[in-house]
Amino acid sequence: MKIPALLYKKAPVLFLAATLVLVGCATGPDRDPRDPLEDFNRAVYSFNDMLDRALVTPLAEGYNYITPAPVNRGVTNFFNNLSDVRSALNNLLQFKIGRAFSDVGRVAVNSTIGILGLLDVASNMNLPRYNEDFGQTLGVWGFGSGPYLVMPFFGPRSVRDGLGVVVDWYTDPLILIDDSTVRWSLIGLDIVDIRADLLNASRVIDQAALDPYSFIRDAYLQRRQNLVYDGNPPEE
């Protein structure tokens, strides 16, 4: 079990290294300057979409069908509580001390009163979620987003956010679980739960977007820009 886990950890690094080589080879006057790897990205997007439709979406639909809404909400809250640990660390790295203390407060309250995070008690105590990650931290530190990138299995990213994925892995409390079966089961449940929460959004994209790839790319880059600047990005 250790070899697959190691490959999973190293895969984003190896993929990003190969991508940096491809960026230098990308040409084409009509390309979106943010997406010099569009042909490559579209191929990866098609692979991810095929995998999603064949495996992840059916699992998510089945999960929604058999899981009562309160339980579904509790599972989402549980994983949100774990991600608040990462958010606290990144707020601290961004020198947003007040937000970091808020995240720590959320984890403390929801892990105790909220029964290991199953209940989001903290949101009713004026402790909002900030959901920071290391990609945002790099942006706050002044690193540009770099080219848009679609990563196998991980989906839309930028080169900067792809590097952030590696650091985020090591700040995920789930990696502290020694039992690999439990650890990977929880990771799988988290993936299915996230996908289940996005089923309606994906249906809207399928029905309304003439080019889902471009729609997702533009929405992703705009959202990440807003997150880095806390909702107040500079005018271009």
Tens-digit pLDDT profile for residues 115-164: 999 999 999 999 999 999 999 999 999 999 999 999 999 999 999 999 99
Q: Quick check: 38 and 170 in contact, CB under 8 A?
A: no
**What digits encode the pLDDT tens for the residues 82-94?**
999 999 999 999 9
- Nearest-angstrom CA–CA distance, 90 and 76: 21
Q: The whole model's pTM is what? A: 0.84
Kindly report which listed range (24-33, 59-68, 208-217, 223-232) carries the lowest average pLDDT score: 24-33
> What was the pLDDT predicted at 235?
78
> What was the pLDDT predicted at 45?
98
Which burial class, exposed, middle or buried, applies to 54 when counting CB atoms under 10 A from its CB (0-12, 13-18, 19+)? exposed
Q: Residue 16: is its pLDDT beyond 70?
A: no
Mean pLDDT of 20-33: 58
- The percentage of residues in the chain with a pLDDT greater than 70, rounded to a whole number, is 87
Q: How would you label 89-99 residue by residue, b for 16+ Cβ within 10 Å and e otherwise?
A: bbbbbbebeeb
Is the Cα torsion angle 69, 179, 170, 216 positive or negative in sign? negative
Beta bridge partners of 151: 155
Beta bridge partners of 149: 157
- Nearest-angstrom CA–CA distance, 89 and 131: 11
- The percentage of residues in the chain with a pLDDT greater than 90, rounded to a whole number, is 81
- 206 compared with 60, residue with greater pLDDT: 60
